[in-house]
Structure 1
């Protein structure tokens, strides 16, 4: 029996919300319990979440009495993210760019240390707590929409963040709404323990046991915890609350000194050069494609490229061609696509009976009608034209044909609609 099969929870469905228990082995996660103290300073109060290479905990900094987030890496994780964040956010002061002064949208590193545990040596860093990702805020809503002024401000901050990252010679490499976090208000950091639990709930521990009844190995926690929900439904987020952190920079890198040829971005937002296996490198242009998809997803009720449940790479490739047309697709990409006959004839016409959706149709259904049906303001014809004028140069098949992040910020939609809404927050 495998190690994973030896472990179970009293509520099996909870395992879908937790990190993989089989990763509590040498080289994997560090077992954490409520009340643990890190670095003789940070007392664990609740769990915030987890990723493939870390768990994140809400803790009380006993030196400042503030609430903080402590990210505990697996013993085999790379401290790259903390190194990059330290470089990007050496202070929490506003940064001046060619587009004015804006707040750094990357979480500042407050402290760094290592924990020696039964599963190895774990890199840790401390930052400010966040409420929830933009993706989680949408998932928590039946409407799945941000208010239009909020959507504009979120898009502006995201574009500014990518432009700032690129100006430092860095590619994010995994940009999507799950990696964009809503900041917690400053007052949240002063919330006493009991008020925190009264408002957001006590940690609900589910015992971890072995199916054979034997004692747990020392590197496994005695219970599992789902993350605390500090967020809000997307439509309830106000403009003053719409300040973000761009997170999960573990995939960020400098193309000038490192080459990468695979994208780990979720398939619905993955740039076409990686779906078509073109041999192109991950680049600044890759971020521009994912930025375009992210901005559309902020404005819309549904992702741009996602016309079916659980789409695979071929479904997304088909929709990209439907939207962009075959004229810009390199012939070599088309020739290498083995499953194209499922979607297209050899002359490039849609296969018999297949419905082809246009950008215009998707815009009307997922942005205009979706907002109108909820009684929300809709996008004006002038703003719609500006959105399309900005998005089209960001979404080209050939990476070298895409615009830059600086050009995105210079677009009419950014200068006349998005950036002005962001300025209102400040």
Structure 2
């Protein structure tokens, strides 16, 4: 197949973009594949995590290892409330070679889902408070080690996971299948009905949901909170991210990223994301409207926070907005 040839596949709802199964894209993985001569693939928890590309640094695993191996006064003082165990630990790390390239892989303990997936209802209030406290402790620990979680992939409920109870590790493969069912497979086909190329699997796998509803969460679940997704984490002392580098959706974006786009971002942007995440844990609704215009969202932020919390540059933005509105009213 020529690299420039574009192939269209029949749409399958709930799975990854099949067109990304190409050189430099996703690795075809099927149920019962054996990775690294050790790890059998039982099911699929999600997708879109990694592609084969030499331009993508392996920063996430190195940052997780740095956090997991951290030794500090903060860590010692917060062991009792589980600061460090809210950070994932890498169990193994290896490369696999496939038809679309070489892939960096690492194994982590599985989680029963993220908090956004659980948001069919409200968390019990004591559980919500415990989740907020554990998430705050996790972010504080990350900051104490000199890292910012990220300004492109920030702190939100989809990257806040909850561990399984220890009994999950005791399940055999047959017991796992009995408890969670067989994988749901859907045949992949091209729009033009031609044979599939070798760099795409023959079947798509729908993600398996292992979680539960918010109302069913317990304090034990809250103690198992894990902050994940450190692929865009950085150390402000050695690296720089500017406000204009922030791709977070506007309603969730820290105000300094909006009003000082050329200024470096740092720990405060994480605190902003943490605050909005805590609000969402307590109310299962984002604090600012996600369907309003940019100007309406800024007005909401000023109404909630007061203008004194905004950087000086917001005044110029606000004056320009008023001038534009007056021009429309004339």
1:377-399, Cα deviation, whole Å (9 max, x unpaired): xxxxxxxxxxxxxxxxxxxxxxx
Aligned length: 314
1:105-124 alignment to 2 at 5 Å? Answer: 105-124=86-105
- In structure 2, relative to structure 1, the CA distance for the partners of 1:301 and 1:344 (3 Å cut) is farther
1:20-419 alignment to 2 at 5 Å? Answer: 20-51=17-48, 53-54=49-50, 73-76=51-54, 77-90=56-69, 96-99=75-78, 101-103=80-82, 104-138=85-119, 141=120, 143=121, 145-173=122-150, 174-242=154-222, 243-261=224-242, 262-306=245-289, 310-311=291-292, 313-336=294-317, 340-341=321-322
CA distance in structure 2 between the aligned counterparts of 1:4 and 1:338, rounded to whole angstroms? 48
1:329-358, Cα deviation, whole Å (9 max, x unpaired): 345323236983599779xxxx99xxxxxx
Structure 2 contact 33–40 (Cα < 8 Å) conserved? yes
Superposition CA RMSD, Å? 2.6
CA distance in structure 2 between the aligned counterparts of 1:220 and 1:18, rounded to whole angstroms? 13
- In structure 2, relative to structure 1, the CA distance for the partners of 1:314 and 1:188 (3 Å cut) is farther
- Name which structure has the greater RCO, CA cutoff 8 Å, separation 6+: 2
Shift of 1:136: 0.9
Structure 2 contact 255–310 (Cα < 8 Å) conserved? no
SS of the residue 1:112 aligns to: strand
Structure 1 contact 23–29 (Cα < 8 Å) conserved? yes
Query: What are the ranges of 5 or more consecutive residues in structure 2 without an aligned counterpart?
Result: none
CA distance in structure 1 between the aligned counterparts of 2:39 and 2:136, rounded to whole angstroms? 34
TM-score by length of 1: 0.68
Shift of 1:265: 3.1
- Answer 1 or 2: which has greater strand percent: 1
SS of the residue 1:182 aligns to: strand
SS of the residue 2:264 aligns to: coil
Shift of 1:97: 4.1
SS of the residue 2:47 aligns to: strand
Structure 1 contact 182–245 (Cα < 8 Å) conserved? yes
Structure 1 contact 26–75 (Cα < 8 Å) conserved? no
Structure 2 residue aligned with 1:378: none
TM-score by length of 2: 0.87
